[in-house]
Amino acid sequence: MTLLEVNGLKTWFQTPWGTIKAVDGVSFTVNKGEILGLVGESGSGKSITGFSILGLLDAPGKVVDGTIRFNGEDLRAASAARLRALRGDRIAMIFQDPMMTLNPVLTIGTQMVETVFAHRKASHAEARAMARDALGRVGIPRPEERLDAYPHEFSGGMRQRVAIAIALLHEPDLIIADEPTTALDVTIQSQILSEVQSLVAEMGMGLIWISHDLGVVAGLANRIAVMYAGRLVEEGPVDPVLDTPRHPYTQGLISSTPIANERGRPLRQIRGTAPPPLDRPQGCPFQPRCDYADAACASELTETVVGARRWRCLHPLGVTA
């Protein structure tokens, strides 16, 4: 069942130097119990996509076009009060570094209890019990005591567990996780990933996992969406996309992963750099870096849909025209 449907989303930033099209026509859906991996380089617009859904864009960012439907409700038309009521309750968000996102001068307990109070009437004792249970659920030892601790008294991995516990407080329908394990050691990262995987399966919620790490997404997500320069260049079920990428950028991302490389050979890389946001090429944004580009790539690109997969490329790999 479709939980979130984003269609033709455009989020632009009007600046004195021009319009930054951070997200420029992105469409995807997330179903209940499904994990969507949103992959791309920094600046590709993946975090802005997440903030657009929650209505948390910093000025001058603005959703200028497209629709966002959550459980059938049009979020673009929703009032500020309605969005506030949804945030943290039906749609939760996990950020990259809880050291920066948890308030350093308030205890974990205070910050969890206030999140409970933001969405339901409860006594202080009930709210505290909910917070304690949520901490216990994500594997934090002695949760009752830890409620009175401050963020700096937790290790990085434990802090991220706290953030996940806060996200789970109201058993949301959708969680948007923005690079939540990027700052962690690999061992801690895999612990958190497996926790998240089982929680999603257990609670049947949808999850958007924003990451630049293909390896993590490969092991976690059901479907993968690759973003480049504000566009979705390829989307589909994880295994086919990673085994037989259609878009040259996806191919480039995969071969840039050191693990895919044969030892001793120089690492492959995508030549050039991502285009500056104010000066993106006409047509396919990837063409200046693409080995397959020709004159036709400078025209507006149409989307090709084949089965569960889709891509935006005139010269898809492994497809004979």
Among 29, 31, 56, 188, binds another protein (CB under 8 A): 56
Kindly state whether residue 319 participates in binding another protein, applying the rule CB under 8 A. Answer: no
What distance lies between CA 264 and its chain's CA centroid? Answer: 34
What distance lies between CA 139 and its chain's CA centroid? Answer: 23
Kindly state whether residue 73 participates in binding another protein, applying the rule CB under 8 A. Answer: no
Residues of 170-195 as b/e, b for ≥16 C-beta within 10 angstroms?
bebbbbbbbbbbebbeeebbebbbeb
DSSP β-bridge partners for residue 178? 210
Kindly state whether residue 106 participates in binding another protein, applying the rule CB under 8 A. Answer: yes
Kindly state whether residue 86 participates in binding another protein, applying the rule CB under 8 A. Answer: yes
Contact mark string toward another protein, 205..224, x via CB under 8 A: --------------------
Among candidate residues 248, 252, 239, the one with its CA nearest the CA of residue 292: 248
Kindly state whether residue 171 participates in binding another protein, applying the rule CB under 8 A. Answer: no
226 neighbors 232 (Cβ within 8 angstroms): yes
Kindly state whether residue 5 participates in binding another protein, applying the rule CB under 8 A. Answer: no
Contacts 24+ apart (CB under 8 A), 280-284: 280/21, 280/229, 280/230, 284/312, 284/313, 284/314
Kindly state whether residue 16 participates in binding another protein, applying the rule CB under 8 A. Answer: no
Kindly state whether residue 150 participates in binding another protein, applying the rule CB under 8 A. Answer: yes
Is residue 206 helix, strand or coil? strand
Longest Cα pair distance anywhere in the chain, in angstroms?
Answer: 67
DSSP annotation of 89: T
Among 38, 68, 92, 199, binds another protein (CB under 8 A): 92
223 neighbors 34 (Cβ within 8 angstroms): yes
Kindly state whether residue 102 participates in binding another protein, applying the rule CB under 8 A. Answer: yes
Is residue 7 helix, strand or coil? strand
- Shortest Å, Cβ 165 to another protein: 12
Kindly state whether residue 84 participates in binding another protein, applying the rule CB under 8 A. Answer: yes
- Shortest Å, Cβ 13 to another protein: 15
Is residue 227 helix, strand or coil? strand
- Shortest Å, Cβ 237 to another protein: 29
Kindly state whether residue 318 participates in binding another protein, applying the rule CB under 8 A. Answer: no
- Using the rule CB under 8 A, give the single segment among 28-36, 87-95, 136-144, 237-245 that binds another protein: 87-95
229 neighbors 45 (Cβ within 8 angstroms): yes
- Shortest Å, Cβ 101 to another protein: 4
Kindly state whether residue 152 participates in binding another protein, applying the rule CB under 8 A. Answer: yes
Positions touching another protein (CB under 8 A) are: 54, 56, 58, 84-89, 92-93, 95, 97, 100-107, 114-115, 118-119, 150, 152-153, 166
